[in-house]
Chains A and B, each alone.
Chain A
């Protein structure tokens, strides 16, 4: 009987040598005369263990990792194909505490199946959600999403159901579903992992959205830096179309939905929804003034859903299992689960999908296992480069929208980047301004000129020039940028700066700070 060995095709695993490992396993198996089938899956998100090789055994899938090409020979010799013992052996993968303690709804399939195996997708509950949506109709589908409490996972946390309802309420005519897959926040990778590991869930989610609001065309706006995701998505879309899950007659419903992948050109700002729409239309990625909202006048002037990958990929499970089941997870106004992405100076980085409410400390210590350097963690930055720095003193904050907002921080897209006590927070503040200066679209003045002046002033502070005056200017600038910027890039860049100043004044050469 043939043995199946799984080696991830996820970009993270590939970067760590998964391709060579897969080839080597095949060649070693051949050499050993073993009947082995090497299959490719997505990543399960245990990135410190990638490449994570799994072997199907009578006792389930057992894992080995991190496996290098050089390890393969020894592993085979140790009985890899029958789940033999080895220093890299991790035991049954689903019982690994890091995974077993998670609550994977959106990422339920990631790492488990071949991402392009539509049969496996359907066998594991795929397209149940779309079938139900088609059955209950547009209004009820939107109501279900509204009821689930799902909020935009891209960062803005706007209730998805309300957005859909707005599009549904627009007069019939051309409408669009667009997926924002321009995942540009530092330290984030959930979109990529999902697209590479379970593309059909995104495709199904978008199809449900189309059915729910009467849109017949969708676009996935994917960042060009994700070539593997692009390849997987294109293949998955073709497979879905071939199987009648996309196209003129979705699942025999008579409803049409077409899907297309469009690549960005490397601009962070195109992750902002209106810039994304401009870019999709073939224009310079520049902010549009709202109103009108994209839900009213979006792509090519038509009502448009703009949702993040995770938001859309979560929709099938909500429809399949019902809003009530999803709502069970989470707390207060943060319902469901959130795929947190742990990165930076941390021992065990990766994807942690949990119901809202896990504390920073739990994430950092229970999952992360502390810093990679072994030194005390000094701060985390949550929600990407525009997120506030949270000092160690606030690590007991729950990872949940309102609680973080109350503390002047934000959850954003769920990226958590860890810094140890060697970090210089003035440098981090300057970095925030520099990031903004590089990524600014150039439309509004506070962002276009302000970020450059801010970075210059922070550099001057670092050189010890006229510190008080420059700090005063930076504080005024932060106010101007927050209040006057056209979009979140300029409007939120001050958050890391202000939080650094507030929590770590000593790094700015200040003894104490009032207020």
Chain B
């Protein structure tokens, strides 16, 4: 079924800029060379009937409905597969054409139900449209062979496949191939008996299908339909908004019926996602109205007391009173706040403003602390800006793609699909990861090199790569000398040329064969365009920042910065983690990454905010915990972050939280951290507010309200209430006013307005007078810091290493179906695919411990102990184990340690020395979480 604001041009745009003028039905039309006749006609508002064509997929030419007449050409060419030519004269309609189209539609109708009124796609079905246009109301063919009567496949929790309604146009199969790149669907059988099948005729749920919904989006009829459509009926309006999951920031159209989301479909004009989405963004939004949502503010004196529902006034007053009391007693720096990367730019901006202006402290931090803070530091120091350098589309021009410590097909699936598309076109892939992620080898994708390094040895590997490039003369000396500080280049060259960095010297440490490192270095350095994409496998290490700098060094040395197809690209985790950093969420800097010690910057904010601001950095999250344990930090305002589950060394965090006197949690669910909260302020989901998110490519996109906040207030309004109660009133009537203030105060945001966002769809900052429409590619011609700077990146082994007591190294990651600590996805039907965290262990390590696939195992580190189920796999090397942290009952962060990045204190989640033993009982933690959840459900059922 197509969307309500659907306009399909039939075939994708042509790459060329060269204009071609032709005549369509007598009208002169000029389009880029390479455009199909169908698209040219559509651009001139002539809709040629079609079924197999859609502008997100390559033309296919199978339905034979779009036939046209072209002067001087024989027969009736299909307009979707015919490319325009200068002077071409096209007729899109004639009695003869109509006759043929009728003949084709009548064949379709001869085996398709005609009871459109009962069909969920009624009114939005392309076959129905084609029948109407051709005047076919029934089939004259006598009843004969039929494909109807097959059992619908309802196995997928989000969509159904009803073969009776399928017209075998192959759009779903092509979408699975071209858009998603999973190749899970196929047409099986031949001729009349051709039918769509998932994998080898398996139910969708158990097939290779990853439930991205591209097939559903592509289906012209109701053969593939969202279950919600049948349950809720057709939507009446569409609201374009931005996905609230990962840092890809897909533009989605929320199709709504009376404030109820009926379905969420990818926006074909979305610049980040290009009309694609993943199982989370497209389908897993049901959490927003889950029964666990808390909609009433609550307070309690002690964390051992039961929660008491109170009015907003009481809750806010209580929180403000407590904060002021603590400040009076323990000093103004005894409290602080945490901004949320799940919230909008405007909301994070307000929280840091509240902390700095109303609380008068710089004790503000954000969850980027635990993910990409090293990116900010590393890229700022080397290149001059704390952000990725490219737009996602840039990958389509890359010749060699290096993926380091990232798993895009699981963690950033929509970008993963774009990357795979490029790989299918022949770009080479180098994967640097302790684990054989899907990209290493999956259908139609194979990495040229997989450097399967030991966790914790990133810097040794990146240095070895750089060593090969420099010592083999593969560096772009001219570029480095022209674009970077010559002294730093010469100095670094000498540093990196030292034999201790050679692949041969580091092989014993990294576990990566030297020859493979040399091959990879040559492949990257030899590429016309080499692009690096990296994730938390780079940053979440004690040398996270060093590694980010090492990556920047490598890109500068090979001239791979400042144009399309290259770059250093952090794949950022949360929907707005880029934005929360941009908005001044770090304790040492104001919006736009400007240090609090800069008097000019400070005075601008002081003037705008009408307060005086501190010139000293505040506490980082782990410092806050430390300070809480020694009694100097006692109050915390947490906007949408479950620090208890997401931060390392859970026992340590819970002790710190327990030591505080006023913890205010503002969230949509009673998250784990709320166990230690004194005030709970019910927040709002991304569907309940206006604002903006900034994705990993610095793209600012609008979030638009599709329903009223369930608890009455959007998060920015709650922060305003709290600020007012603290005696610092803020007065915004709409988030656009907050953005206006951000733009006034932040040079990289000067040109950003909601009006412009509406007009352009999205804007990549910097957006100012120099770049009024934004900046897709950074560092063109010159680095933001002027000259790029090479840093010496000495490999310093982490103190976390395998010992006789803890012989294995645990590293962590994500799966496609769950998101982060799972607060949202666990409350959706995504649970059908991934019901628990498992520990991946190499069969040899398992055998040595008597562990079989599916056994419960205890995982112990020096910090703590957990119990999970084992999954035997050769994806990981011997000596390494791997798990995810989506489920509170597995409590993975009980075992992670306090080790952190030297520059930013980003925790070293990716390396924990552990021992794994077979156990027979779930541990106490798991029991507690389960019991508590059951109790909570019981309570809410009672309350309801």
Contact = CB atoms under 8 A, between A and B. Distances in A.
Contacts of A457: 141-142
A442 B103 contact: no
Interface in B183-198: 186-187, 189-194
B26 interface: no
A480 B103 contact: yes
B63 interface: yes
Contacts of A483: 67, 75-76, 100
B849 to A, nearest CB: 42
B398 to A, nearest CB: 19
Contacts of A269: 190
B450 interface: no
B67 A440 contact: no
Given A289-B59, A453-B141, A484-B103, A444 B64 contact: yes
A438 B100 contact: no
Nearest to A439: B191
Interface stretch (A348-356, A415-423, A471-479, A495-503): A471-479
A304 interface: no
A39 interface: no
Contact of B78 (A289, A436, A479): A289
Interface string A436-449: 11111111111111
A450 interface: yes
B583 to A, nearest CB: 47
Interface stretch (B105-113, B283-291, B554-562, B727-735): B105-113
A437 B111 CA distance: 15
A440 B187 CA distance: 13
B35 to A, nearest CB: 14
The majority secondary structure among interface residues of chain B is loop
Nearest to B58: A289
Interface in B136-195: 140-142, 144-145, 168, 170, 186-187, 189-194
Contact of B107 (A291, A450, A479): A450
Given A284-B187, A438-B191, A452-B192, A486 B145 contact: no
A437 B64 contact: no
Interface in B60-117: 60-65, 67, 75-76, 78, 81, 83, 99-100, 103-104, 107-108, 110-111
Nearest to B189: A442
A485 interface: yes
A443 B170 contact: yes
B144 A456 contact: yes
A11 interface: no
A451 interface: yes
Given A483-B100, A484-B64, A448 B170 contact: no
The majority secondary structure among interface residues of chain A is helix
B64 A446 contact: yes
A460 B143 CA distance: 11
A246 interface: no
B62 to A, nearest CB: 5
A267 interface: yes
A457 B193 CA distance: 18
A456 B139 CA distance: 14
B78 A451 contact: no
Contacts of A473: 140-141
A441 B103 contact: no
Contact of B191 (A451, A456, A476, A480): A451
A448 B192 contact: yes
Contact of B104 (A442, A443, A446, A456): A446
Given A289-B59, A446-B64, A484-B76, A456 B145 contact: yes
Contacts of A485: 64
B24 to A, nearest CB: 20
Contacts of B186: 284
B107 A440 contact: no
Contact of A480 (B100, B142, B193): B100
B103 to A, nearest CB: 3
A207 to B, nearest CB: 28
A173 B84 CA distance: 28
Nearest to B105: A445
A480 B193 CA distance: 20
A456 B141 contact: yes
A129 B99 CA distance: 52
A453 B107 contact: yes
A447 B168 CA distance: 13
Nearest to A290: B81
B102 to A, nearest CB: 9
A485 B103 CA distance: 12
Contact of B61 (A289, A441, A451, A456): A289
Contacts of A443: 62, 170, 194
Contact of A442 (B59, B63, B83, B191): B191
Nearest to B65: A445
A148 B64 CA distance: 38
A443 B169 CA distance: 8
B195 to A, nearest CB: 9
A289 B103 contact: no
A459 to B, nearest CB: 9
Which residue among A440, A469, A480 has the maximum number of chain B CB atoms within 10 Å of its CB?
A480
A384 to B, nearest CB: 18
Given A452-B191, A484-B100, A485-B64, A442 B168 contact: yes
A441 B99 CA distance: 24
A84 to B, nearest CB: 55
Which residue among A286, A449, A466 has the maximum number of chain B CB atoms within 10 Å of its CB?
A449
B103 A448 contact: no
Contacts of B99: 479
Contacts of A437: 191-192
A443 B60 CA distance: 9
Nearest to B101: A484
Interface string B105-139: 00110110000000000000000000000000000
Given A456-B141, A479-B103, A484-B103, A449 B64 contact: no
B168 A448 contact: yes
A266 to B, nearest CB: 11
B64 A267 contact: no
B322 to A, nearest CB: 67
Contacts of A444: 61-64
A445 B191 contact: no
Contact of A453 (B59, B67, B144, B187): B144
Contacts of A470: 142
Nearest to A436: B191
Interface in A69-109: none
Given A439-B191, A480-B103, A289 B145 contact: no
Given A438-B191, A442-B194, A450-B107, 6 more contacts: A289-B61, A441-B190, A445-B65, A452-B192, A473-B140, A480-B107
12 contacts: A289-B59, A291-B81, A436-B191, A442-B189, A443-B194, A444-B62, A447-B191, A469-B140, A470-B142, A479-B99, A486-B62, A486-B64
The 6 residue pairs across chains A and B that have the minimum distance between CB atoms: A442-B194, A480-B103, A440-B191, A456-B144, A289-B61, A449-B107
